[in-house]
Amino acid sequence: MEENTVKSNKKIFISLSVILVCFLLDRLSKIYIIEYFMTNDVDNLYINNILNLSLIWNKGIAFGFFQSENFLYEFISLLIFLIILVIIYLIWKSQLILEVLFYSMVVGGATGNFFDRIYYKAVPDFIDFHYGNFHWFTFNISDICISIGIVFLLIFDIFKINKSDTDLV
């Protein structure tokens, strides 16, 4: 019984730590960018030939799809909240450290963007990559956490990483 308690405490510590780090990195970066752009009355900050910082208010979902200001916005927000709860359940059920880590990254990022949806009624995106005529969608730190978590969950699943190597023991 004691071994299960240690595993459970370790999982909770890892999960909450990763969620908190992702959420705080996202919040701090957004607060800084919003404050910087408002204080300096700019809407674009040139960094180099492939990176700008451009404050965009996203009222849709990933990559700005389904932009909306009505019932659809509230429905999407509710759906995101429910997905966060499902992923928290998956964290709780998982016995694999890598799954806990990657699910927690997704929850940390999703929670950051969900907070913005409630607080600002939009998600501030500001990282703007481009090369020549190719222009990627503007995104934020939460999007990076979500993307990394999902990519590694897919890799983990596709390659069927040996479960004994990633146990919480």
Sheet bearing 123-131, strands edge to edge: 45-46, 51-58, 123-131, 134-135
| Residue the block writes with tokens 């990282």 | 127
125 is catalytic: yes
Calpha distance 23→31 (Å, rounded): 12
Single-letter code of the amino acid located at 130:
H
The token duo for 86 is 């499902």
Is residue 43 annotated as part of the catalytic site, yes or no? no
Q: Pick the catalytic residue: 26, 116, 128, 143?
A: 143
Q: Which of 53, 28, 6, 37 is nearest to 167 (CA)?
A: 6
- The catalytically annotated residue of 116, 125, 128, 165 is 125
123 Ramachandran zone, left/alpha/beta (phi>0; psi -120 to 50): beta
Q: Give catalytic residues, as residue numbers.
A: 125, 143
